[in-house]
Structure 1
């Protein structure tokens, strides 16, 4: 035998032997890593029973013992002798379950993620520094009244007591990233509140986007088609008695007549805004775009932060007492954005959802009043094109020059040198970095957030109000974000008020960057002139982010509203009905019928029927769509056909006029309605020249939708849930995949879409569901998406998921008797 084959076999054995050992080592290391992670997670599980002394080297802790009872879902019911002790306990207990999330939230808001997660987050941090969130939070905190500041300080003290006691048993994320949390401050809590403002009130990029799209269209009528202001489907919460069987007039300025040349003035397309240096967007990771640098989640074209809420007076309920419901639509992540809690001390007893890192209850109820929020979409930002002299000065309105203010920011970057970043500011606000706008002009952002006279966060007033007078007095101090608030109380009253400081502009709302001082602000819309209602004749009030102003409104709030379908459906399901029960509220919150989708299905079927070259698969699709009930169930093939056809249709409609890039980028809160009007009216100006008529175009949209969506050969087996899924993941899953496998839900079939009351996307949807029943306060329901704990080894990590996913809910005990009977764990926090 020759030596060559012998040598080859020898080397093959060496290679095989080496490969086997590499596999063994990798598997062993992976196993050890998982065991280590499991050990770290278990060591971080909080103590839920017994006594804990909150000792602190001479610093005050508690004035008296605090009792923390946890119910069957691990929800803490905190009972304290003083309100200060209660807030200390709230900070401590929230840190037990959500400390890493709290730290991640404040780093996200303050632009400090790169310090622990590396250079891929540098761009994100630069954006946060540019928008001045940390500096603004410190300014607001310093301006709070002393009594209010003391509540934030008490909460921070509780967080820090937990951090101090658990330096060796921190949540596993701290171990994975090899760092420890800095002490908590009251200003950190305000920073987390700024994230909510940023998410709900940031729309400046729509003005840049519309400017670009308008220039390409060069046609005011076509532009107005893409950007309607409200719709004939709207149901403003005026409380008037309406005949819902009759068509509704269109709001002013929304006529689609062919000879109407009026243009509207706001949009919300996706900005040309990349994620941080190719990494996943941390804003999207933490809370569905909590921040202005990123568009809505890529996997959900029409997902925009919003919510549903409504309130019904006792004349229409089975019990004779009001019912109030609220489900806030945000990004879905692990852990949940909300943390449920029940806080009790003399003069204060409030339960509902809290924001980890902030004291108080954000939405919920106390012993006398209940409330819920939806986003108002108020226009609180303008862009100004500034004139610079290249020497560090900008020109003011009178023609003189002033030096730019410069904030010198230092951004710490893991494994890299600190990064120096200068933020330049004019009298209007910070100059947007061209890196983010891709615009060479000097553009300043003016925002109500930067107004140094606005510093009020009246959550304490909402939490402690006992009637409409006290509640609305607190609401009158609300600065941001702009919101719709519904209200009910134990005396049988219901109400609604739009809140937030919205500028009055003598030249009206502007839809593009402006050059002149004519577009300045002249104060804010008075609180009493904001949309509102109290004990209306209809006994019913509802909002779902669509238009809330009546046809004749004294002050413009915004030109951008959400699609009207959710508000319309809620009104049709509930308004005018009697004998309503809490079960009817849950059925409405989880409703998955879409009138718009069903109408589209009928129109698409008609188009196929009247197209000569329709093949057997298309004709089968037409049969499925024409007989569809409009419910987007996971087993529906018609739902797949209609939704995929709509996605394809939009691009086919826009691409000939905007080009491929801008057709993909066009996104706006009322884009579904815009496309519906164009299609249902068979607007000839929009029919692509490649098609002889609308039937041929729509039939081809169905065909293309099946291709893009990878439809099965037998289209009746192309079920909606086979591709339309929910997948909730831990923020670190994009960086450390095995974390996702341990913590995430994985892909689950998902019913509903963005036009149903149950507004959903892959990682977007109702972030909680709440119904207040004044007939049975202990039967009032509240549940979040996954669970109270952020620790995968806690029994309260994902114990709420089955109820949430399957459209069920449960009661949140409130009275001392109910809390005691539902207690599973009792912890005493001692001085």
Structure 2
């Protein structure tokens, strides 16, 4: 009987589990053009990969059309993002997600939406209304996506507050992941030292290992949806082959499908640009117009603080009962408490905490900053000064923005809103809510105009890679955070840029595909030196000798290095944690810890214990290596839909995996933890952009996956071969080139 019930429940999902193949021309023909609320006719030109190029006679119609396009191509994706941003996952996943929803309701991504809308300039208000109307026209006038039957969802119009909540989800403070990984250890012996070393290492929060299935889901949501990684480089015109400045960006996000970005081109009276958009928002996160090209990397700034509110009086708390609808079950009720220091996150059972802790989270994302107006202004900037000025009220997620101009100039600045801190706590990330000194920084928020910037640096190039903030233009930044990527990636980018006397777009594309980690090569050499004379290490030493840190897919040395790390790092952890099942997921397993402390910790051991650890690690690693071949055979790039995590039917959404090069901090980032067997990377490089500002048509983009989120579409994963072969799609700015290269046409007439 239970099998029969399960089968009946899955019947509506058959279209998702076994989708009907649909060609590109069929998908374009299905575009819901009829009844559009336009002022003037709009033309959408498409190429063979379903990249749209929109031509509109009014700005309002452009944004209405962009909403229609996103609704048509990514309607299911935006709906699922709304479920996450609003804490409504239980409506699709049932009781499994109830406590996840409770945590998401406490984090409350939509909290600032009414205040943000109230402060919008009239133009922002008008364009967002048009976009929302176009999005709703598409989602309400087309058949529901195949996923809806499986998830028990129905079509539902979006509000501007929904979209702002999605934007705030994309602006998540990635430091939360680091906090969540550390909080359970508070109060344990050695925590003060662990925190001190975390700050010293700049531990990379998105790679933090989170224990527990439901917490891991939250981690996947936050890391996968937030703009938590990326590389961006710019080369000044005086160092390029064309004489025009070059810009290159490759965002790092979750690797599930549909891709977190959507490529598009557009032209209206005020907008003329190409780039990548975040589904659910009518904004170009990276791209170019005729004068300026841009990209951003997550600054990893600490836009949040944790406060101990356990000693506050009862009157300091407000309480709300929230109702969580559960699919196939009764609704549940949970409590959400808030203080002036933010929501009480320890009320969420799935978020980690020490027993007895009552902690509130204060976040800039709960303040009415204005990313929409900022990015609308950035898309129309005509020089670097205008571009930077557009970010005056930008808040989350904090970005290191890099730009390149048609006149050959380049620049970089920090775009954020952040408390004016003098420093960070040295022993514990949790502040005392009763301490005026702890709360004082929130009385003065620093914004983009207050922070350093640089224009045309002496080197003639710029790079950023989520690294620790540096002085720009001779000015050092104020204290901005503590969870940063290791400097290996940015140093490698700069090394390659410095070696190019006259850079070309092909050179920038090659940099984006680079798989070398010089620091890994140096650590491997140092470990090999310490392993000399240990018989068990012979096969490892044979592979590691002379390795320069290149994680090529066909290489053997990365296998030896990684299995050695995986076996050695747990042996160097504090004695009370050695042997624990989570020892390979501890903060010390992150790359920042390894580069900062592995060799000093190893050398600090008594000689007998050091030799024993090396011998045991070598013995286990040699056995691991004997079962493995190349790095690409061990390290895989998965192609899977976000629904792969569903119980029972999830495997139907796994479409395979591919051998891939790269590692945690290589320019082509393919992140992983400590590994001893075949594994998938879940976070890393998933989109590419390169533009030569000397040529309006010299713009290339690629997505890991494809443009169309419709299951079964020919454009769902058609860019995978391009990605693997390091080829790209040109998206030009000149009208005549667009006409020639985007031959499929949708004409939308105003409704009568």
Q: What TM-score results when the alignment is normalised by the length of structure 1?
A: 0.81
Distance apart, 1:444 and its partner CA: 1.2
Alignment of 1:200-215 (within 5 A): 200=174, 202=176, 205=179, 209=182, 212=185, 215=188
User: 2:384 is matched with which residue?
Assistant: 468
Q: Against the structure 1 CA distance between its residues 412 and 341, is the aligned structure 2 distance closer, same or farther, given a 3 Å change threshold?
A: same
1:55 counterpart = 2:35: yes
User: 1:437 is matched with which residue?
Assistant: 352
1:667 counterpart = 2:587: yes
> Whole-Å Cα distance in 1 between the matches of residues 183 and 379 of structure 2?
40
CA contact (8 A) 2:398 2:414 kept: yes
CA contact (8 A) 2:21 2:714 kept: no
CA contact (8 A) 2:256 2:642 kept: yes
> Whole-Å Cα distance in 2 between the matches of residues 760 and 486 of structure 1?
23
Structure 2 counterpart of 1:150, from 120, 126, 141? 126
User: 1:194 is matched with which residue?
Assistant: 168
Q: Against the structure 1 CA distance between its residues 379 and 457, is the aligned structure 2 distance closer, same or farther, given a 3 Å change threshold?
A: farther
Structure 1 counterpart of 2:71, from 95, 104, 108? 95
User: 2:155 is matched with which residue?
Assistant: 181
Alignment of 1:185-584 (within 5 A): 185-198=159-172, 200=174, 202=176, 205=179, 209=182, 212=185, 215-217=188-190, 220=193, 224-228=196-200, 270=208, 274-276=212-214, 281=217, 284=220, 288-290=223-225, 305-388=228-311, 394-395=312-313, 402-434=315-347, 435=349, 436-439=351-354, 440-452=356-368, 457-506=373-422, 508=424, 511-515=428-432, 516-520=435-439, 521=441, 522-550=443-471, 553=476, 555-575=478-498, 577-584=500-507
Stretch of structure 1 that moved more, 490-499 or 170-179:
170-179
CA contact (8 A) 1:41 1:171 kept: no
RMSD: 3.3
CA contact (8 A) 1:341 1:354 kept: yes
CA contact (8 A) 2:47 2:744 kept: yes
CA contact (8 A) 1:531 1:549 kept: no
> Whole-Å Cα distance in 2 between the matches of residues 365 and 66 of structure 1?
22
Distance apart, 1:604 and its partner CA: 2.9
Secondary structure in structure 2 of the residue aligned to 1:778:
coil
> Whole-Å Cα distance in 1 between the matches of residues 12 and 192 of structure 2?
64
> Whole-Å Cα distance in 1 between the matches of residues 707 and 334 of structure 2?
38
Distance apart, 1:508 and its partner CA: 4.3
Q: Against the structure 1 CA distance between its residues 40 and 30, is the aligned structure 2 distance closer, same or farther, given a 3 Å change threshold?
A: same
Structure 1 counterpart of 2:684, from 765, 769, 777? 765
Secondary structure in structure 1 of the residue aligned to 2:430:
coil
> Whole-Å Cα distance in 2 between the matches of residues 142 and 43 of structure 1?
43
> Whole-Å Cα distance in 2 between the matches of residues 138 and 341 of structure 1?
29
1:576-627 Cα offsets, whole Å, 9 max, x none, are 631111111111111111212222322232233233xx14xx3132112103
CA contact (8 A) 1:781 1:810 kept: yes
1:427-484 Cα offsets, whole Å, 9 max, x none, are 1111113422333222111111223577865111111111122111102221111110
> Whole-Å Cα distance in 1 between the matches of residues 310 and 9 of structure 2?
59
1:723-766 Cα offsets, whole Å, 9 max, x none, are 2111131122232666654x544122121111211110312221
Distance apart, 1:47 and its partner CA: 4.6
Q: Identify unmatched segments of 5+ residues in structure 1.
A: 1-21, 231-264, 292-303, 389-393, 396-400
Q: Against the structure 1 CA distance between its residues 699 and 324, is the aligned structure 2 distance closer, same or farther, given a 3 Å change threshold?
A: farther
Q: Against the structure 1 CA distance between its residues 757 and 381, is the aligned structure 2 distance closer, same or farther, given a 3 Å change threshold?
A: same
Structure 1 counterpart of 2:656, from 733, 740, 746? 746
CA contact (8 A) 1:199 1:289 kept: no
Secondary structure in structure 2 of the residue aligned to 1:828:
strand
Q: Against the structure 1 CA distance between its residues 406 and 84, is the aligned structure 2 distance closer, same or farther, given a 3 Å change threshold?
A: same
User: 1:711 is matched with which residue?
Assistant: 625
Q: Identify unmatched segments of 5+ residues in structure 2.
A: 672-680
1:725 counterpart = 2:663: no
Q: Against the structure 1 CA distance between its residues 561 and 178, is the aligned structure 2 distance closer, same or farther, given a 3 Å change threshold?
A: closer
Distance apart, 1:66 and its partner CA: 0.7
Q: Against the structure 1 CA distance between its residues 699 and 629, is the aligned structure 2 distance closer, same or farther, given a 3 Å change threshold?
A: farther
Larger radius of gyration: 1
Distance apart, 1:107 and its partner CA: 0.9
> Whole-Å Cα distance in 1 between the matches of residues 492 and 570 of structure 2?
27
Structure 2 counterpart of 1:793, from 685, 696, 712? 712
Q: What TM-score results when the alignment is normalised by the length of structure 2?
A: 0.89
